Structure 1
């Protein structure tokens, strides 16, 4: 397969994926037909079947590709930081939001739309949890936690996803860097102190 053919195949796959996510947003996954996808991507049905066996296969491929891209972006975050350092939280959030910005329509369809694909969110949470947990080993001198490690991870991952969903749903109302910085401030100081609200004992 020569380079020209490779580019043509790549463009076809991108057209199929783009059409698929647009249609999920418009009609919902269950209502989409292969013909709908082919028409939107401006290809024929036979061309579709050269790339995917059926609609579930296309969904799995799209999710795997998007999550693979997300995982690569998160992996690039520094690993020398302490596992639960504020710098790591901020870096991971920044990487995730930057990646989402380049795939905003896909993430909207996967996470926000009423026809959202629930397994996608669970897999995304797993990537975030693995990154935040990376390097945590009590046997290597990490200080013991005063609360359950599992509870802390669940809190951080839930907070991550809540902010991501708010950001995507509201059409990115703040720059990714500002969201990341404010998120780390909330985790560091608590939501009331971070907001400048006096805390009464």
Structure 2
């Protein structure tokens, strides 16, 4: 009996979240009402309130769950403290993109310009920044960087987010592994060299 109840609750929550994401894409977060969500999910308002206090509670609960999954996946990416290679950037990017590919509608709703939710992007950027910052932990005994570490991290995180948003906005036009590979080469070699364009210094 308990298992049946749990499955019913799970299905209801999935219906609510699916309806909510669809409505964000159609109307934008601010314009959505609880009644809109209930109607789309084919439940009554009281059922919604059994699971979530209000619209911000639904947003924060789902954001936290997805970002926790993303963080757990990124944390597992190996980073060597002794050497640096483009494979580090490639691994982190591919991990993020593969996670997004299983939750594309949600990430589209959270990140794309027309509907984006700013706190979500900021939290996502912090997950990436924290992971990349592991590489320059002073305890690793590495020599000092030739440029500001803060500037480097901002540059890398901005590059990550720009690539991710392009990928999601354009309906995942390339496989995650290919995007990750091209991204890591762009960062490591610069856009001209990575693209095979002849240039003069």
Deviation at 1:111, TM superposition (A): 0.4
Per the normalisation by structure 2, the TM-score is 0.94
Cα deviations by residue, 1:119-152 (Å, 9 ceiling, x for unpaired): 1111100000001112432243212210011110
Residue 63, structure 1, aligned to residue 63, structure 2: yes
Query: 1:38: which partner in 2?
Result: 38
1:10-49 equivalences in 2 (<5 Å): 10-49=10-49
CA distance in 2, matches of 1:18, 1:80: 39
SS at match of 1:134: helix
Alpha carbons 2:82, 2:140 under 8 Å: kept: no
Runs of 4+ in 1 over 6 A off after TM superposition: none
Give, in whole Å, the separation in 2 of the partners of 1:81 and 1:91: 15
Shift in alpha-carbon separation, 1:84–1:57, aligned structure 2, 3 A:
farther
Name structure 2 gaps, 5 residues minimum: none
Partner of 1:104: 104
Number of aligned positions between the proteins: 201
CA 30–197 in structure 1, closer or farther in 2 if over 3 Å, else same: same
Mapping of 1:56-95 within 5 angstroms? Answer: 56-80=56-80, 85-95=85-95
What is the alpha-carbon distance in structure 1 between the residues aligned to residue 124 and residue 61 of structure 2? 15
Matches within 5 A, 1:1-201: 2-80=2-80, 85-201=85-201
Q: TM-score, structure 1 length as denominator?
A: 0.94
RMSD of the alignment, in Å?
A: 1.6
